[in-house]
Amino acid sequence: MEEYELVIGLEVHVELLTESKMFCGCSTRFGASPNSQTCPVCAGFPGTLPVINKKAVELALKAAIALNCKISSYSRFARKHYFYPDLPKNYQISQYEEPLATEGGILVDSRNIRIKRLHLEEDAGKLIHPEDGNFSLVDLNRSSVPLIEIVTEPDIKSPSEAEKFLTNLKRVLEYLEVSDCNMEEGSLRCDANISVRRYGDKGFGVKEEIKNMNSFRAVRKALEYEGRRQIDCLKRGEMLRQGTRLWNDTLQITEEMRKKEEAQDYRYFPEPDLPPLVFDNRMIKEISSQVGELPLQRKERFIKGYLLSEYDADVLTSKKDIADYFERCVEKAGRPKIVANWIMGDLTALLKSTKTDIRNSPVTPEYLVQIISMIEQGNITGVVAKIVLQECFNTGMPPEKIVSERGLSQIEDEEAINSVVKEVISESPDAVNDYKSGREQALSFLIGQTMRKTKGKVSPNIVKNKLLEYLNK
């Protein structure tokens, strides 16, 4: 973008996959009826005391380790004060000066985007504004759901790099089962900070923080719009003032929400009701050992070990379940490229159209391997294999049984093939003449007719050779 460059930093909130809330025993299940998952602690009653959820701390540590952060041997919770109807205590328990972890990073196209801090906190409740009525409702089911906040350094240089950062981050957190990262349900939310400066400038420009984006694509769009807007302002000689803006997804623009002077002072102070978090090396080692192979490492291994293309490896490692499925197939069948094609092609289409998770696929890895080996052994043709896959997906029946019960085995009997080919030739004099007068396409038509008559049970290559034999007689 001409003489200006963009400077971007992200703040990402992620709900942790715990059964219960951050400081009480209430369920975190999404979608329950309003205020059915609350208690005096998460509803902010005076006199109640919070108790730290151990699982939440472990998940936060797991994320911090996977993101290459330095774990603080001592960290503390702090109260962040503000007044809002969805925050019953009028403060949020967060971490401030002594966060759980610092100085991490994520690789985006081999560039390290530094993570400044990762800390634990609790979510707020939710306000509902009914369209018919001049009142609002509050649902405290989300109040005190465990969150981690991940804050990057302003290392990101473009909107698409921000989008990739988020994609990679999401993959890591999903892999570790730290969060389901479901953006529609608000499990992952992102605020984006952006400023612009002249190339070569050392200092930073004045930043705006953008909120209210509900997809990674919206983050990219908002940053593209906002970068452009700031550059245009500077070019007109205007001064920028720091503030917060909201993304309007309908109009595809950012709109001013407030200027910095209007921002609250949170009056942070250490939470007196909770002990500090103190970790020893043994505990950190223990959790590190649970982290295991991360998506980027797995992708590299797929490229090197299975000789897959970068693209195939990327798709197959985009979700842990897909990568696991793939490897279970390859363990039995070998043939990584063929397995990859089946998974990424026909199987993915069936899963998508029925909104099925690959983990629950009726076509298990064992069944897909059966189909692939039946093709390899010449039991069925590629055309029939697709039918068998579909049938197996619909019924959950073993592919071998489908083939034998429905008589789908490949026809190899020469006599049988000869008689079909003869039939097709005698029924299609026009196509035969076309072919003989040099129109090659006529051959495809004749192959198609033969395949139809045999319901795809003959190898197209054999059909082609047989037809040519007759046509060239």
Binding site for ligand ADP (CB under 6 A): 7-11, 151-154, 193-195, 204-205, 207
Task: Based on the shown chain and the rule CB under 5 A, indicate whether residue 447 belongs to the binding site for Zn ion.
Answer: no
State the Cα–Cα distance between residues 241 and 448, nearest whole angstrom: 69
Task: Let me know: does 7 contact 204? Beta carbons within 8 Å.
Answer: yes
Instruction: Write out the two tokens for 295.
Output: 């998506």
DSSP string, 367-431: HHHHHHHHHHTTSS-HHHHHHHHHHHHHH---HHHHHHHTT-PPP--HHHHHHHHHHHHHH-HHH
Minimum distance between the CB of residue 123 and Zn ion, rounded to whole angstroms?
A: 12
Minimum distance between the CB of residue 153 and ligand ADP, rounded to whole angstroms?
A: 5
- Helices 429-436 and 441-453: angle between axes, nearest 10 degrees: 150
Task: Based on the shown chain and the rule CB under 5 A, indicate whether residue 22 belongs to the binding site for Zn ion.
Answer: no
Task: Based on the shown chain and the rule CB under 5 A, indicate whether residue 372 belongs to the binding site for Zn ion.
Answer: no
Minimum distance between the CB of residue 97 and ligand ADP, rounded to whole angstroms?
A: 12
* Closest residue to ligand ADP in the complex (CB): 9
Partner from ligand ADP, Zn ion, none binding residue 10, C-beta < 5-8 Å depending on class: ligand ADP
Q: Which of 6, 14, 17, 24 binds Zn ion (CB under 5 A)?
A: 24
Partner from Zn ion, ligand ADP, none binding residue 350, C-beta < 5-8 Å depending on class: none
State the Cα–Cα distance between residues 406 and 29, nearest whole angstrom: 45
Q: Which residues 6+ apart lie within 8 Å of 99 measured at CB?
A: 72, 75, 117, 118, 119
CB nearer ligand ADP, residue 131 or residue 265: 265
Partner from Zn ion, ligand ADP, none binding residue 76, C-beta < 5-8 Å depending on class: none
For residue 179, which of 155, 150, 152 has the smallest C-alpha distance? 150
From the list 32-40, 82-90, 263-271, 327-335, the region that binds Zn ion by CB under 5 A is 32-40
Task: Based on the shown chain and the rule CB under 5 A, indicate whether residue 303 belongs to the binding site for Zn ion.
Answer: no
Partner from Zn ion, ligand ADP, none binding residue 195, C-beta < 5-8 Å depending on class: ligand ADP
Minimum distance between the CB of residue 93 and Zn ion, rounded to whole angstroms?
A: 13
What is the total count of residues that contact Zn ion (CB under 5 A)?
5
Q: Which of 42, 196, 219, 316 binds Zn ion (CB under 5 A)?
A: 42
State the Cα–Cα distance between residues 430 and 324, nearest whole angstrom: 52
CB nearer ligand ADP, residue 113 or residue 425: 113
Task: Based on the shown chain and the rule CB under 5 A, indicate whether residue 124 belongs to the binding site for Zn ion.
Answer: no
Q: Which of 26, 60, 150, 190 binds Zn ion (CB under 5 A)?
A: 26
- Helices 429-436 and 414-427: angle between axes, nearest 10 degrees: 90
Minimum distance between the CB of residue 141 and Zn ion, rounded to whole angstroms?
A: 9
Minimum distance between the CB of residue 25 and Zn ion, rounded to whole angstroms?
A: 7
For residue 50, which of 84, 82, 88 has the smallest C-alpha distance? 88
Minimum distance between the CB of residue 254 and ligand ADP, rounded to whole angstroms?
A: 14
Minimum distance between the CB of residue 14 and ligand ADP, rounded to whole angstroms?
A: 15
Task: Let me know: does 447 contact 381? Beta carbons within 8 Å.
Answer: no
State the Cα–Cα distance between residues 270 and 97, nearest whole angstrom: 9
